């Protein structure tokens, strides 16, 4: 969970836009308006009762007192700066500062924060999360953006030097991928070791065309590399169907899967059971080492197709074929 907040400033009046934009982009100073009278420092106003304040002081305080809650690391977004639809952002690096003497001829923008990482983007850019984009439309003089995760994801995409086109479904696909990864992690945590093998056996039995699933042996050396031996029918039409054998090696892993032992075990299983096909299922994430070993085995036994199912792919498989098993 992010430890910073994101705030948005309303569009300045047209005559003040150049002043606000130049200040943040050239001087790295973010300015907030509603500081249009002399001696309106929030640190002074906070010690004055509402009744003691003048009408202008009340107006400044009511619109700007939240600035005292801002902290280093927070982000400030200037809406419609330098033009409509654009947003200029900066990350706070200094404390709230009151600047009594603003540059002539301006008579506002006395509430300031030193910022860095300044950049401008289009709120309708497809790399901007749709929910964040909707929150970047004018609402009030100052408001908090309560979608920090979406801001962080959008910020990363906006700053990546890539020519890859981002589709309308990109953000949904990204978040779905995260959900699937989380699902796989929970699947592994609740089904460690042999329990995952039992669960997968039940799921394979639900797959159309599967005629038999044998849970084989109790470990390497007794199962000859096959945790499951799956018999299934293959053929264009029923008259041409034949029974085929799939050997499955299952690994209950957390995090990245670097160990290539499963590849050696799959090779042994294919030879021992004269399998038509081989499959490795791991709840761990794909790694270069695992994929390299897998590719090398595929070349050696090119007449026997083999497949690797890892990470979020396991979640998709379970959700497609095993929902009834999970809900029973």
Residue spans of beta strands (DSSP E) within 252-312: 277-282, 306-310
Q: What confidence score (pLDDT) does residue 114 get?
A: 98
Which pLDDT tens digit goes with each residue over 289-327?
Answer: 999 999 899 888 888 989 999 998 999 899 989 988 887
Q: Is residue 80 a contact partner of residue 94, using CB atoms and an 8 Å limit?
A: no
CATH label, 6-166, candidates 3.30.200, 1.10.287, 3.10.590, 2.60.40: 3.10.590
Q: What is the pLDDT of residue 1?
A: 53
Domain map (residue ranges) of the chain: 6-166, 187-327
pLDDT in tens, 66-108: 999 999 999 999 999 999 999 999 999 999 999 999 887 888 9
**How many Å apart are CA 135 and CA 89, to the nearest integer?**
14
Rg, the chain, Cα only: 30
Considering only residues 127 and 7, tell me which one the structure prediction assigns the higher pLDDT. 7
Predicted pLDDT at 181:
87
Cβ contact 118:25 at 8 Å: yes
**Which pLDDT tens digit goes with each residue over 172-230?**
666 777 788 889 999 999 988 889 999 999 999 999 999 999 998 665 555 788 999 99
In angstroms, what CA-CA distances link 76 with 13, 130, 133, 179, 281? 18, 19, 15, 30, 46
Q: Is the per-residue pLDDT at 235 higher than 70?
A: no
**pLDDT tens digit string along 17-76?**
999 999 999 999 999 999 999 999 999 999 999 999 999 999 999 999 999 999 999 999
192/226 Cα distance (integer angstroms): 17
What is the rounded average pLDDT of the residues 138-154?
Answer: 88
Does 249 have pLDDT greater than 80? yes
Q: Which pLDDT belongs to residue 238?
A: 62
Number of residues that this document lists for the chain:
328
**Which of these ranges, 67-81, 107-121, 128-142, has the smallest mean pLDDT?**
128-142
Per-residue pLDDT at 286 exceeds 60: yes
Alpha carbons 181 and 64: distance in angstroms, whole number = 42
Q: Does domain 187-327 have CATH number 3.40.91.30?
A: yes
What strands lie across the sheet with 242-251, from one edge to the other? 210-215, 228-234, 242-251, 277-282, 306-310
């Amino acid at each position: 969970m992010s430890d910073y907040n994101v705030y948005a400033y309303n569009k300045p009046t047209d005559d003040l836009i150049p002043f606000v934009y130049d200040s943040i982009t050239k001087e790295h100073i973010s300015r907030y308006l509603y500081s249009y009278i002399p001696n309106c420092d929030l640190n002074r106003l906070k010690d004055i009762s509402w009744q003691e304040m003048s009408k202008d002081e009340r107006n400044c305080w009511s619109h700007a007192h939240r600035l005292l809650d801002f902290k280093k690391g927070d982000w400030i977004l200037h809406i419609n700066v330098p033009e409509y639809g654009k947003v200029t952002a900066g990350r706070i690096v200094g404390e709230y500062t009151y600047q009594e003497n603003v540059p002539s001829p301006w008579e506002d923008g006395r509430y300031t924060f030193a910022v860095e990482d300044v950049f401008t983007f289009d709120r309708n850019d497809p790399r901007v999360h749709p929910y964040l984009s909707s929150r970047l439309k004018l609402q009030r003089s100052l408001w908090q953006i309560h979608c920090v995760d979406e801001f962080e994801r959008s910020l990363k995409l906006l700053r990546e030097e890539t020519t890859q086109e981002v589709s309308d479904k990109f953000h949904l696909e990204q978040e779905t991928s995260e959900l699937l990864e989380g699902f796989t992690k929970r699947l592994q945590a609740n089904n460690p070791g042999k329990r995952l093998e039992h669960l997968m056996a039940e799921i394979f039995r639900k797959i159309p065309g599967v005629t038999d699933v044998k849970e084989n042996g109790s470990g390497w050396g007794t199962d000859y590399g096959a945790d499951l031996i799956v018999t299934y029918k293959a053929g264009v039409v029923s008259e041409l169907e034949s029974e085929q054998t799939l050997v499955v090696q299952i690994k209950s892993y957390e995090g990245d899967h670097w160990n290539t032992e499963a590849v050696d075990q799959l090779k042994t299983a294919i030879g021992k059971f004269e399998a038509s096909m081989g499959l490795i299922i791991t709840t761990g994430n794909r790694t270069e080492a695992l994929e390299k070993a897998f590719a090398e085995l595929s070349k050696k036994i090119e007449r026997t197709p083999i497949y690797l199912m890892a990470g979020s792919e396991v979640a998709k498989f379970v959700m497609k074929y095993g929902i009834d098993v999970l809900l029973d």
